[in-house]
């Protein structure tokens, strides 16, 4: 039996849930899994799922790094020998992150996160059983487009719901609310992957996205109909309250309004074609990712 230890920064954040969902896919008769916090390294295979770029001062080697947060545009990493880490594999979750990873390592590979298998057990609800127009799932801050979401819902009089805390709902409650929602709001200003995006699409809930960052890899709505995506008008480097710099893509508010109006005006037949398209694309990606992950460990 192979022993796999997943290392996370803390219990209860998005990395923790990403690990829990990955473990749910693994055969317990073949894999003994554990979850450690921060730098406790045990097990035959150690997979660090948080952002290695935040561990510059005291780097600790893991066999595999599996990163999904945007790699910050700071100067600190330029003075630290990241090559000391020498991981066997480095997985990044978007083409955007791959570009930065390759500046320091020659073994970077693109591998998305896995969602919980329960999301693949439900069929989409018929259009007439949809209760909500728009949903926001994620951290309620500027980089996720939360203020824009609230403003759009008010201005257009939409029936919206939101949650910034995975613990607020059980996974069954979250699935139930998502299935009753027409669209997920995913106009995020920067994104390293986006578990809620893939969860929603696997349920057949399309997303209204900003065409930038990781959304270029994973927002299948953009592939289906470009008018359901918002084009950014410029790029900026912004600092957060901790002094970390983020590259963000800025949309025009008027374009967001027009895109949301267009989405809400879709005919039933057209909408049904969209939901089955995004569902099949998302599910195929998840199964392909699972096979690649198992083969890598």
Distances (CA, A) of 44 to 2, 7, 31, 33, 34: 7, 13, 11, 10, 11
* pTM (predicted TM-score): 0.91
Who has greater pLDDT, 293 or 97? 293
Distance, C-alpha 203 to centroid of its chain: 15
pLDDT tens digit sequence for 36-87: 987 667 778 989 887 666 655 556 678 898 987 655 555 545 555 566 677 8
- Give residue 173's pLDDT band: very low, low, confident or very high (50, 70, 90): very high
Which tokens in the block code for residue 274? 């969209």
User: Tokens in use for 134?
Assistant: 């728009």
CB atoms within 10 A of CB 122: 15
Q: Which range is least confidently modeled, 78-92, 172-186, 213-227, 269-283?
A: 78-92
- For 107, the 3-state DSSP assignment is coil
Neighbours of 220 (CB within 10 A): 22
User: What structural domains does the chain harbor?
Assistant: 2-111 (3.40.50), 117-286 (3.40.50.2000)
As a whole-number percent, the residues of the chain with pLDDT over 90 amount to 59
Q: How far apart are CA 221 and CA 228, in angstroms?
A: 7
Give dist(CA 229, CA 23) in Å, integer: 33
Type and span of the H or E element at 172: helix 171-179
- Cα–Cα distance, 186 to 193 (Å, whole number): 11
Neighbours of 237 (CB within 10 A): 10
**3-state class of 89 per DSSP?**
strand
pLDDT, one tens digit per residue, over 92-125 is: 999 988 887 887 788 889 999 999 999 999 999 9
3-state SS assignment for residue 26: coil
Rounded Cα distance between 111 and 90, Å, is 9
Token pair belonging to 289: 């990712």
């Amino acid at each position: 039996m192979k022993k796999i230890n997943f290392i996370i920064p803390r219990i209860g954040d998005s990395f923790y849930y990403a690990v829990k969902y990955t473990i749910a896919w693994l055969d317990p008769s073949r894999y003994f899994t554990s979850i450690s916090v921060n730098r406790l390294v045990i097990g035959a295979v150690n997979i660090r799922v948080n952002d290695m770029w935040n561990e510059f001062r005291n780097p600790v080697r893991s066999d595999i790094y599996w990163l999904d947060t945007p790699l910050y545009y700071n100067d600190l990493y330029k003075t630290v020998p990241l090559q000391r880490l020498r991981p066997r594999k480095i997985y990044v979750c978007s083409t955007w992150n791959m570009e930065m990873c390759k500046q320091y390592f020659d073994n970077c590979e693109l591998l998305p996160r896995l969602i919980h298998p329960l999301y693949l057990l439900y069929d989409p609800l018929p259009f007439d059983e949809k209760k909500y127009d728009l949903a926001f799932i994620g951290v309620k801050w500027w980089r996720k487009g939360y203020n824009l979401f609230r403003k759009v819902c008010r201005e257009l009089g939409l029936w919206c719901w939101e949650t910034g805390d995975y613990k607020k709902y059980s996974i069954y409650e979250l699935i139930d609310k998502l299935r009753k929602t027409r669209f997920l709001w995913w106009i995020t200003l920067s994104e390293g992957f986006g578990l809620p995006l893939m969860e929603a699409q696997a349920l057949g809930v399309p997303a209204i996205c900003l065409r930038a960052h990781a959304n270029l890899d994973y927002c299948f709505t953009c592939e289906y109909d470009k008018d359901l995506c918002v084009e950014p008008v410029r790029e900026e480097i912004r600092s957060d309250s901790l002094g970390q710099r983020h590259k963000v893509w800025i949309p025009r508010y008027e374009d967001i309004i027009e895109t949301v109006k267009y989405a809400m005006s879709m005919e039933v037949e057209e909408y049904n074609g969209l939901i089955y398209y995004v569902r099949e694309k998302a599910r195929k990606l998840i199964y392909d990712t699972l096979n690649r992950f198992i083969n890598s460990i």
